Amino acid sequence: MVDWVKLAQRSRLGRRLRLGALSVFLVAVSIPIAVPYIWMVMIAFTARRGMAETGTLWPALVVILVGLGIYGVAMLWLRRERLAIVMGVLTAFLLGLILLGQDLHLQNFRFMVNANIIDDLDGQGTVGERYPWVWEAFANSLLLASTQTVIVVTVSTLAAYYLSRFSFRGRNTFLQSLLVLQAFPAITLVIPIFLIVFWVGLLNTLYAPILVLTALELPFFIFIMKGFFDAVPWDIEMSAMTDGASRREAFWMVVLPQVRVGMIAIGVFAFIKGWEEYVFVNGLRTGESYWVMSTYLYYVREDVMGVDYGMVAAVAVLYVLPALILYLFCQKYLTQMTLGGVKG
Amino acid sequence: MAQIELKALQKAWDDAVAVQDMNLTIQDGEFVAILGPSGCGKSTTLLMLAGLYLPTGGDILFDGTRVNEVEARHRNVGIVFQSYALYPNMSVLQNILFPTRFQQTPDAEKRAREMAEMVQINQLLERRPSQLSGGQQQRVALARALIKRPNLLLLDEPLSNLDATLRLTMRAEIRRITRDLGVTTILVTHDQLEATTMADRVVCMNAGRIEQIGRAEDLYLRPDTLFVAGFIGSPPMNLISLPHPLIEAPSIARTFGLRPEALRPAETGLPAQVTHFEPMGREVLTTVQTPLGLLRFLEAGTQPLWQVGDSLHLTHARDDAILFDGTGARIPNATALITEQGYA
C-alpha cells in the first residue's frame, strides 16, 4: 500500500528545500553586484573632503539587510506585496535616519551648480584653466546616445525587414557577414577608425562617435530585428495587401506594430551603449573639444591634487541615473526580447 | 461579382514548376473548390488570383479583362487565410473596417456592423483578435473579406484550424453567406468532404495540373484519372494492377478499381479472410486478405457481422469496376469482373 500522505509531505518538503537553496544561492550571487552600487550611493552622500568615508558603509548594509528582512517577514506573514514593500522601505528609512542621519550631506554634488570644481576645492591652485561643465557633458551624452539610437532603430528596422522578406543575390552571405562582424572586438579598430575620421575631417566633433557607434552596433541589431520580422506571419501582410494596402502601407499599418517590442528593446540597448561609451568618444578627440559623461567622470577622477572620491561617486550617481530610469520603464519589453516572438 | 477565367496559367520558380497549363472558367456567383494534396499548386493558384503572385505564363481574366499585372490592392478580391491573418494590433471592428480605409465606402461603420451581424460576431466588436476563439476569428476574417463587396472571394483552407463540430457549422455558414451575397467564391482545400459538400464544382489538382473538373458525384463515380480515383472517396478505392489471372478485363486496362461499397459478401466468389474491422458509425469497414491482396469493403450495420479470421466470399457487379489504361486515364464504358475460376 502506498502512503500518499507521506509522499505528498516529502514532495512539499523537497520543494521548499529546493526553493530555499535557490534563494540563498541567488542572494549570495547578487551580493557582489549589488553592494558596489549601494556603496557608490553611500559614498556620494557621506564622503567629505577627498576622504573615502568607510565608516558609513557597513551600517548602510545593515540598514538594507534589516529592511529586506522586514520585507521578507511581512511577505511570509501577511502575503501582501505592496504592504510588505512599504514596511521594508519605512523600516530601512527610519533606521538609516537614526544610524546615518548626521553623516548625510549634499556637498559632493556641488559640481552640479559650480563648474569650477578644482578652484572651489583648493583655492587658487589652478587658475586660468578651462573646466568642463557637467551639464554640457550631460547634454552631449544625451545627444550622442539619442541621435545614435534614432539612427540605429530606423536603419536596423528597415534593413531587417528587407532581409526578412525579400530574397536577393548574396542574402545569405550578407547575413553571415553580419555575424562575423560581431566577432571582432571593436577596440581593434580604434586606429583605422581614427585615421578615417581624421581624413574625413570629423575628428573632434560629436559626429564621429555617433557615426562610428552606429556602424558598430548595426549588424547585431539588424540581426535581432530580423528575428522579430521573421516571427510576423506572411499571411498578415498578404491579407493587408489584398485588403487594399500597398506594400508600404501594409508595412506601416500591420507589420510594424507587431515588432514594436523589438524596436523598443534595441532602442534601449542602443541608448545605453551610447550613454556609457568611453573608448570611441575618448579615442576620437585629440584635445578637450567635447565632453561627455564618461570623459567627465574620468576628468574628475584624474585630479592632480588627490582624488575626491566623494565627488567621483556623486558624478557616478548622476551618470547611472538616466540609464537606470530608462531600464526601469522598459524592463518588460527587454525581457520579451529573448523570446523574439510576437504574440497575437 | 465576376466571371473568372484562367487560360494556360503557369507559375514556375527558379527550380520548380508549381502550376502549369491551367485552364478553368468560373461562372459569376459560382462556388468552386480546388482540391488536392499539399504541394499540388492549389494555394499558388489562389495567390495568383489574389494578385500576390505574378504568373510566369498564361492569363487571368476577370469578366474578360486580363488582370495579370493588376496589383492585389486594385483587384477587389477578398481573402481568408487558414491562419485567419487578423491584425493583432487592431480591435475586431478595426479589423473589419481595414479594407474601407483604402477605398471610398459610404457608411463604412454601418456596413461593418451589418457584416458583423451576418457572421454573428456583433457582440465582439471591441475585442482584440487574441481574445477570440478560432471559430470567432474565422468569422471576423470572413466579414473583413466581404466588407468591400469583392468581385471574388478566396478561401485558403479556411476550416482546417477548427474542431470537427465547428467545421460542420462553418461549412453551412460560409455556404449560406456566399449564396446570400451571390459572390463568386474559390475554396482551396485538401479535405474532400469540405470540397464536395460546399462547392458547386470541384477542381481536382495534382502536381501542378488539373486532373478533373466536375461536380462532386462526377469525380466520385466517374474519375477521369487514376489519381482522382485514389484521392476521392473515403475509405479509398481498391486498386489492383492488371493484367491479373483472376480478373477478366479488356487488354488495354492496366489498373482495376473497385469502391469498397461495391464489394459484397456472397455464397460464392473471391475467397477472403477477415483481418481487421473499423466500425464507422452506420457502416463497418472490413479489411480482408484475398488472392488479390488486401481489399476493403463496406457493410451496413453498427456491429461487425464477422470475426477476425472468418472466411467468406466476395462478389461485385461487372459495371461497378472502373478501369484505367497505362497513362492513368479512365477507359470509358469498359467493364471487368473478378472471376471465380478454381475458387468456387
Amino acid of residue B307: Q
CA distances to A16, A18, A25, A333, B37 from A11, rounded to whole Å, are 9, 10, 21, 36, 51
Where do runs of H (alpha helix) occur along chain A? 4-46, 57-78, 81-100, 117-122, 134-165, 171-183, 190-200, 207-230, 234-242, 247-250, 260-276, 279-283, 293-301, 309-337
Residue whose C-alpha cell reads 560581431 in the numeric block: A182
DSSP B330: B
Contact flag B85-A257 (C-beta cutoff 8 Å): no
The conformation of residue B329, written as its DSSP 8-state character, comes to B
| Closest partner CB to B83 (pick from A235, A246, A253) | A235
How many residues make up chain A in this entry?
344
Mutate to test the interface with A, among B81, B94, B105, B151 (most CBs of A within 10 A): B81
pLDDT, one tens digit per residue, over B14-36 is 888 899 999 999 999 999 999 99
Residue A130 contacts B where some CB pair is shorter than 8 Å: no
As a whole number of Å, the end-to-end CA separation of chain A is 49
The predicted structure's pLDDT at residue B281? 86
Q: Divide the 344 residues of chain A into consecutive groups of 10 and give the mean pLDDT of each group.
A: 88 92 91 89 79 73 87 84 88 86 81 69 49 86 94 96 90 87 82 92 91 91 91 92 92 92 91 90 84 86 72 89 89 68 40
Mark yes or no for CB contact B72/A236 under 8 Å: no
- Please answer yes or no on whether A244 and B83 come within 8 Å at the CB atom: no
pLDDT at B205 over 90: yes
Q: pLDDT tens digits, residue range B108-145?
A: 889 899 889 888 888 999 999 999 988 899 899 999 99
Determine contact, residues B125/B109, Cβ cutoff 8 Å: no
Q: Give the C-alpha separation, B161 to A2, whole Å.
A: 44
| Angstroms from A265 CA to nearest CA on chain B | 18
B130–A242 CB contact, under 8 Å:
no
Residue A225 and residue A266 in contact, taking contact as beta carbons nearer than 8 Å: yes
CB–CB contact B85 A245 (8 Å): no
Domain boundaries, chain A: 4-112, 134-334
A59-102 pLDDT per residue, tens: 888 888 888 888 888 888 888 888 888 888 898 888 888 888 77
Q: What does the alpha-carbon distance between residue B191 and residue B171 come to, in Å, rounded to a whole number?
A: 12
Nearest Cα to B264, choosing from B298, B213, B232? B298
A287 to chain B, any CB pair closer than 8 A? The answer is no
Q: Say whether residue A23 is in contact with chain B using an 8 A CB cutoff.
A: no
Q: Do B87 and A236 touch (CB under 8 A)?
A: yes
A235, A243, A343 ranked by CB distance to B144: nearest: A243
Question: Using a CB-CB distance cutoff of 8 angstroms, which residues of chain A are in contact with residue B73?
Answer: 241-246
Position A240 scores a pLDDT of 94
CA distances from A12 to A1, A3, A326 (A): 21, 15, 40
DSSP string, B211-255: EEEE-HHHHHHS-SBHHHHHHSSSSPPEEEES--TTEE--TT--E
Query: Under an 8 A CB cutoff, do B83 and A258 touch?
Result: no
Count the alpha carbons within 13 Å of B91 in the hemisphere toward its beta carbon.
Answer: 11
* Residue B56, all three cell numbers: 510566369
Residue in A242, A258, A342 nearest the CB of B77: A242
Hey, which residues does B248 pair with through a beta bridge?
B337
Cβ <8 Å between B83 and A233: yes
Chain B nearest-CA distance from A327, in A, is 25
Of residues B256 and A117, more confidence is placed in B256
A175 Cα to chain B: minimum distance (Å): 22
Instruction: Determine the Cα–Cα distance for residues A325 and A317; give it in Å rounded to an integer.
Output: 12
For B85, the closest of A235, A245, A246 (CB atoms) is A235
Whether the CB of A249 is below 8 Å from some CB of chain B: the reply is yes
**What's the average model confidence in pLDDT over B289-295?**
89
Q: Collect all residues of chain A within an 8 Å Cβ-Cβ radius of residue B130.
A: 343-344
CA B301/CA B284 separation, integer angstroms: 6
Chain B closest-CA separation from residue A173 CA (Å): 19
Of B71-75, B129-133, B244-248, give the lowest mean pLDDT range: B244-248
pLDDT of residue A51: 58
Average pLDDT, integer, range B33-60 = 91
Q: Return the higher-pLDDT residue of B304 and B184.
A: B184
Question: DSSP characters for A175-219?
Answer: HHHHHHHHHS-GGGGHHHHHHHHHHHT-TTSTHHHHHHHHHHHHH
- Residue B8 neighbours by CB under 8 Å, 6+ apart: B21, B22, B23, B57, B58, B59
Looking at chain B, which residue has its C-alpha nearest residue A254? Answer: B87
Contact B98 A344 (CB under 8 A): no
Cβ neighbours of B137 in A, within 8 Å: none
Do the beta carbons of residue B36 and residue B192 sit within 8 Å? no
Task: From chain B, pick out residues whose CB is under 8 angstroms from the CB of A254.
Answer: 87, 89
Size of interface A-B (CB pairs under 8 A): 69
To which H or E segment does residue B320 belong? none
Q: According to CATH, what is the number of the domain A134-334?
A: 1.10.3720.10
The whole-angstrom separation of Cα B253 and Cα B256 is 7
Q: How far is CA A111 from CA A3, A26, A48, A70, A316, in A?
A: 71, 37, 14, 37, 12
- Give the HSE-up count for residue A203: Cα atoms under 13 Å, Cβ half-sphere: 16
Query: Could you give the percent of chain B with pLDDT greater than 70?
Result: 98
Name which of B52, B75, B99 is nearest A238 (Cβ-Cβ). B52
Torsional sign, CA B300, B302, B303, B308: positive
Compute the nearest-CA separation of A253 from chain B (Å). 9
Task: Report the pLDDT value the prediction gives residue A304, as an integer from 0 to 100.
Answer: 59
